[in-house]
Amino acid sequence: MLAGLFERLEATYGDLGWWPARDAFEVAVGAVLTQNTAWRNVERAMAGLTEAGLLDPAAMGDAPHETLAEAIRPAGYFNVKTRRLQALCAAWRAAGGAEGLAARETPSLRAYLLDIHGVGRETADDIVLYAFYRPVFVVDAYTYRILGRYGWLDDEPPYEGLRERLETTLAGTPQAYQHYHAYLVELGKEHCRPRPRCAECPVTDLCGKRGVAAGQG
DNA sequence: CTCCAGTGAA
DNA sequence: TTCACGGGAG
């Protein structure tokens, strides 16, 4: 019963205030910047972009590599992320901006985003869910780790299969999926870490692998 | 599987 | 000092 897990997480965390952004483009930029990067550092990079006047598809897309790289430096991987952001800008403009993208059906939107250099499945689904409010469960490393320990995963199902299975099981609204993903990230950071801290975990009584020796989970 | 890279907590 | 980070490409 996954529903029970998410009910408990909702009771524990409520609204975590995800995803802080002013518009769809800002969500997409944040999604690229946060790849394997702490959100704290993404906030600094976003501030750098605002300060440099680059938080805009045209300005960012036309900026010199060095200029953009310098602005996003705190987020790390600044050279690869600069190329990815500029690929994002090119695709964003070619699609007719946020309006053009919003006009697409969800499968078409996902496919279009996945075609962009630097936009993988999780980044695409972040954008689809948080920028365009489509009902998509964002699967990430936390999802595999938490649900695996929880005892809900058979072994290690492929991304798409797991995503569809979760969406079928939960049948949630976009808002529900926005919260669910935030809950798993929070739980994964605070308790269900690589080395689990089960002692103060809010869902330990529901977990199939509670009491597992810390070190290998 | 290996880079990419800065930042703060443990 | 190591570890971990709202991952993805080559």
Give the contacts of A133 (CB within 8 A, at least 6 positions apart).
Answer: A174
pLDDT digits 0-9 by tens, A24-76: 999 999 999 999 999 999 999 999 999 999 999 999 999 999 999 999 999 99
The C1' atom of B4 and the CA atom of A79 lie apart, in whole Å, by 8
Contact present, A203 and A151 (Cβ < 8 Å): no
Give the contacts of A206 (CB within 8 A, at least 6 positions apart).
Answer: A4, A5, A8, A150
Domains in chain A, please, with CATH? Answer: 2-15+138-200 (no CATH), 24-131 (1.10.340.30)
Give the contacts of A135 (CB within 8 A, at least 6 positions apart).
Answer: A106, A129, A167, A172, A173, A174, A177
Q: What angle do CA A51, A56, A60 make, to 5 degrees?
A: 80
pLDDT digits 0-9 by tens, A135-184: 999 999 999 999 999 999 988 899 999 999 999 999 999 999 999 999 99
Does at least one atom of strand B sit less than 7 Å from the CB of A74? Answer: yes
Contact present, A2 and A170 (Cβ < 8 Å): yes
Cα distances (Å, whole numbers) of residue A40 to A49, A76, A179:
15, 11, 19
Does at least one atom of strand C sit less than 7 Å from the CB of A56? Answer: no
